[in-house]
Amino acid sequence: MCALPPFGKLWIMPRPDAFPEFENLRSHGKELRQSSLVDLVNAPRRLKTMQLEAEGIFVDMSKALLDERALELLLALARKQGLADGIRAMCEGQPINNTEKRAVLHVALRNKSDRPGFVEGRDVMPEVRAELSKIEALARAVRSGSWRGHTGERITDVVNIGIGGSDLGPRLICEALEPYWNCLPSPLVRPHFVSNVDGADLGRLLKGLRPESTLFLISSKTFTTPETIANAKSARAWLCSKLGEEAVARHFFAISTNEREVARFGIDPSRMLRFWEWVGGRFSLWSAIGTIVAIAIGPERFFELLEGAFVMDEHFRTAPLEHNLPVRLGLLDFWYSTVLGAESLALIPYSQLLASLPSWFQQCAMESNGKGVDRDGFPLSYPSASIIWGAPGTNSQHAFFQLLHQGTRFVPCEFVAAIEPSYDFEGAPHHVMLLANMIAQSEALLLGKDLESVRQDLMKEGRSTEEIEALAPHKVFPGKRPSTVILMERIDPRHLGALLALYEHRVFVQGWMLGINSFDQWGVELGKRLAQTIVEELKGAAPPSAHDPSTQALIARLRNKLKDLLQAKSGE
């Protein structure tokens, strides 16, 4: 087992290929790929071994391409790599983000216990609780109407301007909890989101809003993110053109770690909600980044969301590895991507309210574990994270399930659903149809349909022998395609909090098993830096710099086209 280093020392984590269990896993994986998934599902003790439940979340891995031997090897490797110590190190605020020398303590944001949360020897929980009080106060003020706009009108619309983790998390939660927007005794305050620097994103939204009743939350950890600041400046110009510069004080709040940049933008620091460097952007929805959630559903419901995440944190922190939901899912992710070589995971929520779940988890997993080097900077000799993609069922059944059922690629699927409906219509069994479709797809992926069964069906239809032989191969379903089903009791704040915390922690587990740093994201920096140079070149404000021939030609073409457009507009 790995031992915790002295406080302040950077964490040392072994790679999986340092242990014989990894090669044993690879060998066993090759054997398992050739075995019958149907036989695995029918094995004795399968359900007892492959079904787990905690905190209102039920995980059924019985149709996963995983047997007891693989699970034993995965757990043995996890123990050799010190996963339990790693979980403890994260929860105790050790600087496991070694390239940035930071703690990774988003669990402190929803810590409902009396335990301290130490960062560099300092308990941060008083700061966290103070900031939660500010979030609560603002949410109550907006919802009650005590915070009013510049002209004295109530706030009816709140716009979150952010990108990445400052957008995807709160957007997902607001969409998922839409039934709770107006369930408390206060007028509806509608949440909106702007993330894309494409002017169409902000422009289309502003056409339907009134500046007198609109509040903007500018969400950016550094408050220097170019896309967010560009949208924020345009929103400010829109407001000021209608109400004047002095209206900014009643219509703009900042959510950031950078008070200096907030002040430079023109927002008084007294209207700034804070979070901290030890909170990664994609794990920040539990912080002040979630302010729009608290406004939309009310602070009581927001605290229920945090409570749900906390109980999953406690399960993750205390449950044995073999019975630990995030550990089991993280090990399955590692097994599929790194051992079996699955290039992608299809995440299919059978809920329209969870339509943004694949996009949120895509960032959480791929920005965290899409790395090519280990924590010491050495290239990996094995695959890292899979591509996450997906869309809601049943829509996706009519979009890309053809590839899942009959394509040539190995794509494990994960289905997510709620047992209780959020909307139901008397006499119309929408929810029953939804759940039936999910179960049917899981079964169809497993069983498939062989050539002889297809021939028998075609014979019953009265087809000729020639038609049967020509058509039958096209109607074969190979089957033996793995899937996992995750059920939550209902889509309410508490269960949603538990689900999202479960997903966050499985990302940590997979990254730990890979031997990488899941909590930096240097891969986004290069394109951002190049874009800053190219912006000036496209505007004609700077001479073209050295680029490759393809990039140079694109810049020249667009620069000339943009110049023509500007001249045409000025001549109108």
Give the CATH number for residue 296. 3.40.50.10490
Residue 203, CB-side half-sphere exposure with 13 Å CA sphere:
4
Q: Which of 259, 277, 304 is the last residue of a domain?
A: 304
What the block records as the tokens of 427 is 């006499």
Within this chain, do residues 66 and 176 fall inside the same structural domain, yes or no? no
| Bridge partner list, 344 | 387
Q: For position 52, what pLDDT does the model report? A: 97
Within this chain, do residues 340 and 402 fall inside the same structural domain, yes or no? yes
* Structural contact between residues 98 and 11, judged by C-beta atoms closer than 8 angstroms: yes
Angle (CA) 309 315 321, round 5°: 135
Within this chain, do residues 131 and 241 fall inside the same structural domain, yes or no? yes
Domain that holds residue 400: 16-96+319-447+481-520
Within this chain, do residues 191 and 271 fall inside the same structural domain, yes or no? yes
- What mean pLDDT do residues 186-200 have? 92
Q: For residue 515, is it within any domain?
A: yes
| Per-chain mean pLDDT for the chain | 93
For the chain, what is the domain count? Answer: 3
Within this chain, do residues 126 and 244 fall inside the same structural domain, yes or no? yes
pLDDT band at 7 (very low <50, low <70, confident <90, very high): very low
- What mean pLDDT do residues 477-506 have? 98
Closest by CA position to 56, among listed 439, 431, 508, 500: 500
Q: For residue 221, is it within any domain?
A: yes
- What mean pLDDT do residues 157-170 have? 97
pLDDT above 60: residue 116: yes
Q: For position 571, what pLDDT does the model report? A: 65
Read off the DSSP letter of residue 122.
E
Within this chain, do residues 395 and 430 fall inside the same structural domain, yes or no? yes
Closest by CA position to 241, among listed 223, 233, 197: 233
The helix-helix angle for 68-80 and 493-514 (nearest 10°) equals: 70
Q: Is 367 a catalytic residue?
A: yes
Q: Is 443 a catalytic residue?
A: no
Read off the DSSP letter of residue 373.
B
Q: For position 350, what pLDDT does the model report? A: 98
Q: Is 480 a catalytic residue?
A: no
Cα→Cα distances 389→336, 349, 409, 523, 567, Å:
15, 11, 14, 19, 42
pLDDT above 90: residue 568: no
pTM higher than 0.85 for the full model?
yes
Q: For residue 553, is it within any domain?
A: yes
Q: For residue 200, is it within any domain?
A: yes
Within this chain, do residues 398 and 541 fall inside the same structural domain, yes or no? no
Within this chain, do residues 238 and 289 fall inside the same structural domain, yes or no? yes
Q: Which of 48, 207, 398, 569 is catalytic?
A: 398
Q: Which of 255, 278, 304 is the last residue of a domain?
A: 304
Read off the DSSP letter of residue 385.
P
Q: Which of 21, 212, 314, 367 is catalytic?
A: 367
Q: For residue 20, is it within any domain?
A: yes
Residue 256, CB-side half-sphere exposure with 13 Å CA sphere:
29
What whole-number percentage of the chain has pLDDT above 90? 86
- What mean pLDDT do residues 320-343 have? 98
Q: For residue 509, is it within any domain?
A: yes
Dihedral angle of Cα 339, 345, 351, 353, to the nearest 10 degrees: 110
State which amino acid sits at residue 61. Answer: M
d(CA 543, CA 548) in angstroms, rounded, equals 15
Contacting residues for 358 by C-beta, under 8 A, at least 6 apart: 347, 348, 349, 388, 389, 390, 391
Residue whose pair of structure tokens reads 């009134």 in the numeric block: 210
- What mean pLDDT do residues 490-511 have? 98
What the block records as the tokens of 74 is 């995965």
Within this chain, do residues 258 and 336 fall inside the same structural domain, yes or no? no
Q: Which of 304, 331, 352 is the last residue of a domain?
A: 304
Q: Which of 528, 539, 561, 563 is catalytic?
A: 528
What the block records as the tokens of 116 is 């301290």
pLDDT band at 2 (very low <50, low <70, confident <90, very high): very low
d(CA 110, CA 106) in angstroms, rounded, equals 8
3-state secondary structure of 443: helix
d(CA 568, CA 566) in angstroms, rounded, equals 5
- What mean pLDDT do residues 333-343 have? 97
What whole-number percentage of the chain has pLDDT above 70? 97
Q: For residue 41, is it within any domain?
A: yes
Within this chain, do residues 212 and 348 fall inside the same structural domain, yes or no? no
What the block records as the tokens of 82 is 């010190």
- What mean pLDDT do residues 435-455 have? 97
Within this chain, do residues 337 and 292 fall inside the same structural domain, yes or no? no
Within this chain, do residues 327 and 443 fall inside the same structural domain, yes or no? yes
* Structural contact between residues 207 and 159, judged by C-beta atoms closer than 8 angstroms: no
Q: For residue 476, is it within any domain?
A: no
Would you list the DSSP string of 226-250?
Answer: HHHHHHHHHHHHHHHHHH-GGGHHH
Q: For position 184, what pLDDT does the model report? A: 58
